[in-house]
Amino acid sequence: MDRAALLGLARLCALWAALLALFPYGAQGNWMWLGIASFGVPEKLGCANLPLNSRQKELCKRKPYLLPSIREGARLGIQECRNQFRHERWNCVVATSTTAAAAPFGTSPLFGYELSSGTKETAFIYAVMAAGLVHSVTRSCSAGNMTECSCDTTLQNGGSASEGWHWGGCSDDVQYGMWFSRKFLDFPIRNTTGKENKVLLAMNLHNNEAGRQAVAKLMSVDCRCHGVSGSCAVKTCWKTMSSFEKIGHLLKDKYENSIQISDKIKRKMRRREKDQRKIPIHKDDLLYVNKSPNYCVEDKKLGIPGTQGRECNRTSEGADGCNLLCCGRGYNTHVVRHVERCECKFIWCCYVRCRRCESMTDVHTCK
Residue among 48, 2, 54, 3 at smallest CA distance from 25: 54
CB count within 10 Å of CB 1 equals 8
Q: Is the dihedral of CA 40, 46, 48, 52 positive or negative?
A: positive
Which residue type is seen at 58? Answer: E
Shortest reach from residue 111's CB to ligand NAG, in Å: 23
Q: Are 291 and 119 in contact (CB under 8 A)?
A: yes
Q: Tell me the chain's radius of gyration from C-alpha atoms.
A: 24
194, amino acid identity: G
> To the nearest whole angstrom, how small is the minimum distance from the Cβ of residue 146 to ligand NAG?
8
CB of 56 vs ligand NAG, minimal distance in Å: 10
Least Cβ distance, residue 155 to ligand NAG (angstroms) = 20
Least separation in angstroms between CB 140 and ligand NAG = 4
In the complex with ligand NAG, the residue whose CB is nearer, 236 or 323, is 323
Gap between the Cα atoms of 66 and 138, Å rounded: 11
Indicate the residue among 49 and 191 with the shorter CB distance to ligand NAG.
191
- DSSP for 167-226 reads E-S----HHHHHHHHHHHH---GGG---GGGHHHHHHHHHHHHHHHHHHHHT-EEEEEEE
Q: Which is nearer to ligand NAG, 138 or 207 (CB)?
A: 138
Cβ closest to ligand NAG, residue 158 vs residue 188? 188
- Binding positions for ligand NAG, rule: CB under 6 A: 55, 139-140, 143, 145, 188, 191, 313, 315-316
Nearest CB to ligand NAG, comparing residues 157 and 315? 315
CA 207, 94, 245 angle in degrees (round to 5)?
Answer: 60
**Shortest distance, position 26 Cβ to ligand NAG, whole Å:** 8
Between residues 55 and 239, which has the closer beta carbon with respect to ligand NAG?
A: 55
Contact 15, 47 (CB under 8 A): no
Nearest Cα neighbor of 268 from 194, 199, 191 is 199
Cβ nearer to ligand NAG, comparing 23 with 164: 23
CB of 144 to ligand NAG, least distance (A): 7
